[in-house]
Amino acid sequence: MASEMQLPAHEESLALREQFDTAAQQKDASTLGMWIFLITEIMFFGGLFLAYTVYRSMYPGVFAVASTSINVYWGAANTVVLLTSSLTMVLAVRAAQLGQKRLIVLFLILTLILGGVFLGVKAKEWYDKYEEHHIPGPAFHLEGLNPDNVVSQGHAQLFFSLYFAMTGLHAFHMVIGAGLLLYLIFEARKGRYTAEYNTPVDLIGLYWHFVDIIWIFLFPLLYLIDRHLGK
């Protein structure tokens, strides 16, 4: 067919799919697709942010107290870890654009390690919550509430429900991101990504930054409420 004659001879090496005319068109389409996907992700997290906003404005005092029971130092350390992972991700993208195969692999592995550190710290924080009976359910109890009655304990549970839902969904996205990084590392080692073709590194980089930004919002909303109130 005539349309196939326009395809370049080294179709496989440029990975140009048959529905596209040029590599630039394909890259544009993939990039736009990723941005739209990230918009759907914003709407997805948006439901949780809405629920958080509603309940925090309904029960500001209890939320502030509940917030202080989370360890802000672990949270701050994790923020630094995640921001650094964004840096290494950008460096990987840059290396891909320059076609530096060994540097791509190196920076991707660094990103993966930092992501792993983040998840490890997160798991430790969750375990602490378990030890302190801060998991919503029959055994739930939070110290320091005034008045400390069934009603405010209920509201405090609501805070932790949101805490686990939001950080849980975020961690789930980190795990997906780690899987994607592993895929990139394998492919990069095979020399798949060159100065001409590096779209997957670029797009998974976008995804990684997005997950990072979600955390940038989660950290103050969940860890720093008490400090917001000016105490």
Closest alpha carbon to 218 in 154, 164, 145, 137 = 164
Examine residue 50 and tell whether it contacts another protein (CB under 8 A): yes
- CB count within 10 Å of CB 140 equals 16
**3-state SS, residue 156:** helix
Q: What is the CA radius of gyration of the chain?
A: 22
Among 65, 105, 114, 158, binds another protein (CB under 8 A): 158
Q: Which two tokens stand for residue 102?
A: 């060994």
**CB of 216 vs another protein, minimal distance in Å:** 19
**CB of 200 vs another protein, minimal distance in Å:** 14
Whether residue 163 contacts residue 49, with contact meaning beta carbons closer than 8 Å, is answered with: no
- CB count within 10 Å of CB 21 equals 12
Examine residue 146 and tell whether it contacts another protein (CB under 8 A): no
Distances (CA, A) of 214 to 12, 25, 92, 167: 36, 30, 21, 10
Residues in the chain, how many?
231
Examine residue 32 and tell whether it contacts another protein (CB under 8 A): yes
Among 8, 11, 13, 28, binds another protein (CB under 8 A): 28
Taking the least distance from each CB to another protein, the nearer of 117 and 187 is 187
Instruction: Give rounded-to-5 percent helix, strand, coil for the chain.
Output: 75, 0, 25
Among 3, 57, 146, 149, binds another protein (CB under 8 A): 3
**3-state SS, residue 151:** helix
Examine residue 44 and tell whether it contacts another protein (CB under 8 A): yes
Residues 82-111 binding another protein (CB under 8 A) are: none
Taking the least distance from each CB to another protein, the nearer of 95 and 166 is 166
Examine residue 40 and tell whether it contacts another protein (CB under 8 A): yes
Site string for another protein, 114-143 (x = CB under 8 A): ----------------------xx------
Please report, as ranges, the residues that interact with another protein according to CB under 8 A: 1-4, 17-21, 25, 28-29, 32-33, 36-37, 39-41, 43-48, 50-51, 54-55, 58-59, 136-137, 151, 154-155, 157-158, 161-162, 164-165, 169
